[in-house]
């Protein structure tokens, strides 16, 4: 794990000094994160970097994961989709299943933190244990157009929190509690994002039998319908009529996402054993994801809905040209025609992919601008600062945190 000083060459001494100043003010407080999976997906990705760095800064930080069976995660996946605005049939029984598991977690999860930081809807009901400590609810989902029934159900819990945190301005909701806007981040020094030697990149390409002499288009994502992997294959097939290139669709599964294998089958069916389409079910392997991103000519993220889309930041940080849907948190990261290309359809994606593959100088410029944008806005050092200010703000009634 990178030590905090190692970030100085990237972000400057003053940024690290600020982090130390803020962490001093949190001495004696225990911060307890709770989510629903230790690996897979953006939340676990961020916590696995955030928690050790906060500890290194001297902030006593813990991370606990709730338990739940298959039925519970089937229901929470439906909630997830419905909150993103996708039509889902949700029965009264689903709410009961959610509450049955929640009651067990309310009984069994020890909420010892001075600040209990709950991520997403799965553990939301644990707030029923609230005593004198402070409680935060972090929503990583795009709830700008949620299914009102599910949102209304969650409101029964949200109102018990001290504050809520959203990733983008459009996601904020009318709430009787304080709200904060804090976008996610990537860690430039993690295995996922650090520089890699060319031999390592070549090794991973050989391992997955991906050719070096044909352009590579890549989408890294869980096999989830909202990431539209089938749409990516369709866009690729349109590009392939004009440009001989390969597609890499790489994705693992997350413990709290039961749909993955079904979607993977749909993608394989669409790809019809095309030798230039590489569908990779990766075990959690950050170096391999990093290598695949670095080996690619263009990165695509054709999500139908997206909370933030860490994969976009990861690609831009590697100065890769990106084609991504204009949804959720993606436009925070991509300014169209400046730091990438935004698209709204399969045709739009294939048009943008063709444009980038046939104009390498333009593609390079977009990638370089993208890296600068990520450096200024979406690195973990900014996120650490925002979170520590958020923690401190819980102890101040007014909107000012006094540091002196």
Q: Which residues bind ligand UDP (CB under 6 A)?
A: 41-42, 45, 192, 220-222, 250-252, 282, 289, 307-311, 314
Cβ distance to ligand UDP smaller for residue 63 or 111: 63
Between 232 and 310, CB nearer to ligand UDP:
310
Residue from 140, 155, 286, 318 nearest 226 by CA: 140
Using an 8 Å Cβ cutoff, are 201 and 63 in contact?
no
CB atoms under 10 Å from CB of 304, counted, come to: 16
Minimum Å distance from CB 25 to ligand UDP? Answer: 30
Closest contact distance (angstroms) between CB of 269 and ligand UDP is 20
Cα distance between residue 303 and residue 44, in whole Å: 19
By beta carbon distance, the residue nearest ligand UDP is 42
Shortest CB 310 distance to ligand UDP, Å:
4
Q: Left, alpha or beta for 328 (phi > 0: left; psi -120 to 50: alpha)?
A: left
Pairwise CA distance, residues 314 & 330, whole Å: 12
CB of 42 to ligand UDP, least distance (A): 3
Question: Which residue, 311 or 339, is less far from ligand UDP as judged by CB?
Answer: 311
Phi/psi of residue 149, nearest 5 degrees:
-70, -45
Kindly state the helix (H) or strand (E) to which residue 307 belongs, with its residue range. Answer: none
Of 229 and 367, the one with the shorter C-beta distance to ligand UDP is 229
- In terms of CB distance, is 147 or 314 closer to ligand UDP? 314
Q: Smaller CB distance to ligand UDP: residue 16 or 47?
A: 47
- Listed in order, strand segments (DSSP E) in 86-228 are 115-119, 134-138, 163-166, 178-181, 216-220
CB 115, min distance to ligand UDP, A: 23
- Least Å distance, CB 7 to ligand UDP, is 19
């Amino acid at each position: 794990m990178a030590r905090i000083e190692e970030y100085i060459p990237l972000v400057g001494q003053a940024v690290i000094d600020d982090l130390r100043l803020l962490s001093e003010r949190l001495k004696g407080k225990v911060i307890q994160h709770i989510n629903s999976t230790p690996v897979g997906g953006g939340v676990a990705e961020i916590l696995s970097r955030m928690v050790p760095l906060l500890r290194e800064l001297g902030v006593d930080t813990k991370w606990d994961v709730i338990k739940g069976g298959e039925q519970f995660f089937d229901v929470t996946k439906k909630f997830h989709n419905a909150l993103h605005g996708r039509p889902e049939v949700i029965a009264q029984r689903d709410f009961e299943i959610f509450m049955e598991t929640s009651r067990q977690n309310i009984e069994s999860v020890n909420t010892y933190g001075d600040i209990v930081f709950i991520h997403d809807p799965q553990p939301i009901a644990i707030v029923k244990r609230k005593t004198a400590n402070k409680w935060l609810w972090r929503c990583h989902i795009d709830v700008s157009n949620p299914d009102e029934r599910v949102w209304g159900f969650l409101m029964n819990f949200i109102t018990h929190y001290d504050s809520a945190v959203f990733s983008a301005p459009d996601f904020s909701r009318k709430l009787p509690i304080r709200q904060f806007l804090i976008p996610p981040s990537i860690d430039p020094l993690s295995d996922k994002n650090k520089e890699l030697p060319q031999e390592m990149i070549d090794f991973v390409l050989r391992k997955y039998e991906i050719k070096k002499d044909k352009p590579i288009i890549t989408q890294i994502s869980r096999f989830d319908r909202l990431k539209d992997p089938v749409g990516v294959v369709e866009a690729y097939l349109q590009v392939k009529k004009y440009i001989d290139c390969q597609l890499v669709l790489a994705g693992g599964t997350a413990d709290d996402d039961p749909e993955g294998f079904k979607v993977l089958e749909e993608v394989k069916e669409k790809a019809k054993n095309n030798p230039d389409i590489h569908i990779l079910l990766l075990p959690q392997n950050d170096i391999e994801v990093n290598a695949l991103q670095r080996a690619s000519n263009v990165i695509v993220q054709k999500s139908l809905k997206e909370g933030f889309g860490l994969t976009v930041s990861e690609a831009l940080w590697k100065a890769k040209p990106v084609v991504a849907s204009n949804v959720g948190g993606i436009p925070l990261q991509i300014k169209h025609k400046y730091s990438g290309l935004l698209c709204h359809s399969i045709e739009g994606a294939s048009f943008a992919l063709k444009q980038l593959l046939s104009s390498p100088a333009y593609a390079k410029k977009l990638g370089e601008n993208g890296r600068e944008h990520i450096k200024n806005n979406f690195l973990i050092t900014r996120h650490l600062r925002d979170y520590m200010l958020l923690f401190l703000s819980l102890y101040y009634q007014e909107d000012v945190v006094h540091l002196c």
